[in-house]
A and B are shown apart, each in its own frame.
Chain A
Amino acid sequence: MLHSKTFNKKTRGGRIQKLVREVYLRDDIYCGALFCKSCEDKSKARLTATASTILILDTNVVLNQIDLLENPAVEDVVLLSVVLQEVKNKNSAVYGRIRNLIDSPARRFVVFSNEFHRDTYVQTMAGESPNDRNDRAIRVAARWYQSHLGEAVKVLLITNDRENKRKATEEGVSAETIESYVKSLGQPALLDLLVQPASEDVIMEEVEDMRPSKRKVVYPEHKPMSEITSGLTKGIYHQGKLRVNRYNPFEAYVGSESIGDEIVIYGRGNMNRAFDGDVVAVELLPQDQWHEEKSLSIVDEEDEEEDVHLVPGSSDDAPRTSIPVSSSTFDTNPVSSRPSGRVVGIIKRNWHSYCGSLEPMPMPAGSGGLAYALFVSKDRRIPKIRIQTRQLDNLLDKRIIVAVDSWDRQSRHPSGHYVRSIGQIGDRDTETELVLIENDIDARPFSAQVLACLPPLPWSVSSKDLNESNRVDLRHLCVFSVDPPGCKDIDDALHCTMLPTGNFEVGVHIADVTNFVHPGTPLDDEATQRGTSVYLVERRIDMLPKPLTEDICSLRADVERLAFSVIWEMTPEAEIISTKYTKSVIKSRAALSYVEAQARMDDSRLVDPVTKDLRNMNALAKIMRQRRIQRGALTLASAEVKFQIDTETHDPLDIGMYQIREANQMVEEFMLAANVSVAEKILKEFPECSLLRRHPTPTKEMLGPLLRTAAAVGLNLDVTSSKALADSLDCAVGDDPYFNKLIRIMATRCMTQAVYFCSGELSPPEFLHYGLAAPLYTHFTSPIRRYADVIVHRLLAASIGIYKLPTIFRDRPQLTSIADNLNYRHRNAQMASRGSVELHTLIYFRNRPTDTEARIVKMRSNGFIVFVPKFGIEGPVYLTMRGDKGGGEWFVDEQQQKIRKMDGSVSYSILQAVKIHLEVLEPKPNRPKLQLTLL
């Protein structure tokens, strides 16, 4: 069975080296056709007997036309290993997508390892380039397929390489280009998915077609790669990732390690066709040009939350946009100019597909259905993309996904192609799906393999569970849970009993998810990928399948459930005497909502056991909370809002701020304590591979805006430590009852996000959780909705010797990559929740223009940003009309954070209350936005 052959290969490892590798050519590689009579092993065969044509793809087709291949119209495809190898080397994203297609049981894609097959292995001929050799290998494989399968089936080589096609035809292999093949399928809609050939001459023609006057080079040429590499080593160019300002797409930053600062890039001309996220090479502009450009857009600095405040007429003006600004701004900030530069080359593209809609345009007359349209991404940072479509009338009112293909020097816009449409613009489901897609959230139903991992339903605690030696029977305890109303995934419950000694036994019981989710199963893999449940306004996207989330794991009232318990003995002064960790069986007596729990505690007539326990716990929690605050934990505020949703139409009926009660704080306190206890335990046992959560101390620069605001209102904040900050926040009380909360919200905004990390990666002082003032912290209490907690459960179980530690924990790089994924998913889930809230706010105000009170939180040269406490929204209010930009009528006082009219008649200062009018307008079609105007 083994055939051995050696071949020589030269590689460059500093110098020329001759490498010899063996290749074992096999006769047990099968064609993958179900109807094939000579191949015995059919386990991997997919190609159906009805297939009259079998497609063999060339590398360029896979690389460029992956969107088309993902369409179910293309089936019975053979992917040669030589093609896969080339794709993998050139574009790992496309490789991942093609691998998904191969793995999907619904599709008929097979891999043929031609490089190891006895009859299709091709040896490089003298003087043959690797490319030619691979092309030949593809042709040889195609010919083998034709002779192997016989004349009944047509084997079609799809290639867009003219030379390859010609040679294939000469050798008697039928070959076609992807265009002609798709045309022969007779589905015009598919043609939209095709990537247009990017050869220069075709583009020139098109440009001429569309606007004859603009047939000229728009962008400077990118430098060749060799020049960039040498420039980088010499220090002339700087490498970094380009980040476009979210609120001003004509400004971008490149974080450069070589100069240790961010390089600012102004205008599309300087950006030179780079997209957000691309790795680029940047050349610094001469220093005298920094200044001038700087003054042009100083107002955009730190422009974080603002809804764009300079909207150019169209992106065609982009490279020459200038923003007149009052000279005063220029004077106040003459020295702090950052280096600015321009992009000379793109090292790595970050192109993917984008969601958005087409720019409205009239139907072109008599063009035979083929039309060019401009696509406007919902993400402002992405320039307009030109696409070619045959179904324009169909797409104009749709949200669509578009992928970018190329961007030539001669065209203002990158060209791309249509991928798929999501639905009607403005439709709630469409827009929600858009939010999910934008945040890379997988909302697909769970696959059959995942569901197969679930225990059979209906599930209940069996005697086997009870007899498990590690599991303690705690059904006799009076356990109850407190959650938001309507909560179905109850993952925590509490109990509190008084001991004869006068001490309390307090237990936190967490759903025992790891009893059902075992490492290495498809269910576990899926949960690792999802990372967290996502809570949108009207729906929840689960991390684990519904039976687990809502039934088997959920600690519902009056049913026996498996739990992982942390049990403390506490003195009445809430000092922890001992901590015990154990798996258990519990039976919850009551599933309360926060409101119910609060009402029970407040109602002095009630003396039932649950209420008494609640009161005891609340007393303990208050002491613990007090102690935590003394240690310097920050009480930060957020502007969380709650919608009331119409059960029928799912439209929001009312919104208001989320109210926090004592009961919330009580539960929170015990969860924090449990997390801290578990963090200590797992770190002690596994110092190298524990998953912890840290919150870095904010730097001076990050707190800058907060300090400036505070100074303007005469408040002196001490930010030297979290304790000092907490104290000075407590002292910050103005005449305005809302003042303190506002300051806290602003403080929250200065903090970085807390992140998960693997304990082996950092040194212990860095483990600190700044916000909670805890040296160690982790997440243990919500394993149903967060994967981090599942990992921590496994660590804890291993540390008390119940299970062995899964092998994954021995692999630190992999653990780190899991932690990174969790952070990414967590952030995305938050962004998606916010997106969903924004969407519903918009729907709510669509028919309800409202007048309300707002606070000024930030000054701008032509207006200010206000925060509307009642609805938790924030947005710009313009003092000047959009058309005349600034005009010097208003004057900003940076020091005092005031904006004043030049004649001194009106002035606004920070944190001042103003009356505003809220209304949904649609300044640009398909981009409805909430407009705030001053009353």
Chain B
Amino acid sequence: MEFVNPEGLRLDGRRPMEMRQLRAQIGAVAKADGSAVFEMGNTKVIAAVYGPREVQNRSQQINDQALVRCEYSMANFSTGDRRRKPKGDRRSTEISLVIRQTMEECILTNLMPRSQIDIYVQVLQADGGTRSACINAATLALADAGIPMRDLVTSCSAGFLNSTPLLDLNYVEDSAGGPDVTVGILPKVDKVTLLQMDAKLPIDTFENVMQLAVEGCKAIANYIREVLLENTKQLEYRRGL
């Protein structure tokens, strides 16, 4: 199938290096300590963060750092066919783990020993790249909750179809069966915290694709920073400072 036509346009009218439209909103769940909604095109994700708080299950308590827990789920209405999926299937367990590890990397856990941080992410609408969207939403929610972090973590995916590296795959491109590289970075320190791909790619091509994904991450980081700044200004304004 042709994913990039000879005019250089993808199926949805983007060019290969273009991302989908980003939207973000902080404070979507009033009850949570921090929350955010993050959208990448038609992929829409909500994240809620609770904590740092007392560890619920004492046996899991860690004495020198905080316990980070993460739960990923997909709303039944998030995909076209409204099937009821069992909770905690392989895929969501894996993604929960991936997100937890990525977030743990940037949270300064040693500042909050013997406490627990819960991150809940739920996909409201899925159109490819849910993993990346979840990480971005979780970053925003953690920032909103005021949890100390080393840096923002941002994530973006890139693929390789029709011999062209493509940024930010949507569902149609994602299900084409080509390689899908998901990268998460700490943009300020310029370090990679997440790198996933379950396909084969020649190493030189892979480098290009990954570079593209990193560029995407940086663009997202800029956007998230703007959103946070705007949010802070709002808070300032409300306090009347």
Contact = CB atoms under 8 A, between A and B. Distances in A.
Interface of A: 2, 4, 6, 17-26, 81, 99, 102-103, 111, 113, 115-116, 807, 810
B170 A22 contact: yes
B202 A23 contact: no
Contact of A22 (B7, B9, B20): B20
Given A2-B18, A111-B7, A18 B80 contact: yes
Contacts of A23: 12-13
A99 B6 contact: yes
B205 A807 contact: yes
Interface of B: 5-7, 9, 11-14, 18, 20-21, 41-42, 80-81, 127, 170, 172, 200, 202, 205
A794 to B, nearest CB: 15
Nearest to B20: A22
Nearest to B125: A20
Between A4, A18, A115, the greatest number of chain B beta carbons within 10 A of the residue's beta carbon is seen for: A4
A164 to B, nearest CB: 24
Given A24-B14, A807-B205, A113 B9 contact: yes
Given A4-B41, A19-B80, A26 B13 contact: yes
Contact of A115 (B13, B18, B42): B13
Between B7, B11, B20, B200, the greatest number of chain A beta carbons within 10 A of the residue's beta carbon is seen for: B7
A306 to B, nearest CB: 46
B202 to A, nearest CB: 5
A600 B172 CA distance: 69
A99 B6 CA distance: 9
A297 to B, nearest CB: 45
11 contacts: A4-B21, A19-B80, A20-B42, A21-B12, A22-B20, A22-B41, A23-B12, A24-B13, A24-B21, A25-B13, A115-B13
B202 A22 contact: no
A26 B15 CA distance: 10
Contacts of A115: 13
A18 B41 CA distance: 17
A359 B80 CA distance: 60
B162 to A, nearest CB: 12
Enumerate the 3 nearest inter-chain pairs by beta-carbon distance, A residue then B residue, closest first: A116-B13, A24-B13, A22-B12
Contacts of B14: 2, 24
A6 B20 CA distance: 12
Contact of A2 (B9, B21, B202): B21
Chain B facing A: main interface SS: loop
A21 B127 CA distance: 9
A25 B21 CA distance: 12
Contacts of B9: 113, 116
Between A17, A24, A26, the greatest number of chain B beta carbons within 10 A of the residue's beta carbon is seen for: A24
A589 B121 CA distance: 77
A807 B206 CA distance: 12
A22 B42 contact: yes
B121 to A, nearest CB: 21
Contacts of A24: 12-14, 18, 20-21
Contacts of B13: 22-26, 113, 115-116
B93 to A, nearest CB: 27
A99 B7 CA distance: 11
A111 B6 contact: yes
Contacts of A807: 202, 205
A81 B80 contact: no
A681 B18 CA distance: 45
B12 A81 contact: no
Given A2-B21, A23-B13, A116-B9, A810 B202 contact: yes
Contacts of B127: 20, 22
A372 B45 CA distance: 68
A456 to B, nearest CB: 28
A767 to B, nearest CB: 25
B47 to A, nearest CB: 22
A88 to B, nearest CB: 8
Between B12, B200, B205, the greatest number of chain A beta carbons within 10 A of the residue's beta carbon is seen for: B12
B42 A6 contact: yes
Contacts of B170: 22
Contacts of A102: 6
Contacts of B12: 21-24
A84 to B, nearest CB: 8
Between A22, A26, A102, A113, the greatest number of chain B beta carbons within 10 A of the residue's beta carbon is seen for: A22
A61 B172 CA distance: 31
Between B9, B200, B202, the greatest number of chain A beta carbons within 10 A of the residue's beta carbon is seen for: B9
Contact of A21 (B5, B6, B172, B202): B172
Contacts of A20: 42, 80, 127
Contacts of A81: 5, 7
A810 B41 contact: no
Nearest to B6: A99
Nearest to B200: A810
A530 B20 CA distance: 42
A115 B42 CA distance: 19
Nearest to A115: B13
Given A24-B21, A810-B200, 10 more contacts: A17-B80, A21-B11, A21-B12, A21-B42, A22-B21, A22-B41, A22-B170, A99-B6, A113-B9, A116-B13
A24 B20 CA distance: 9
Contacts of A22: 12-13, 20-21, 41-42, 127, 170
Contacts of B202: 807, 810
Contacts of A103: 6
A10 B42 CA distance: 17
A99 B12 CA distance: 21
A115 B5 CA distance: 13
A614 B170 CA distance: 66
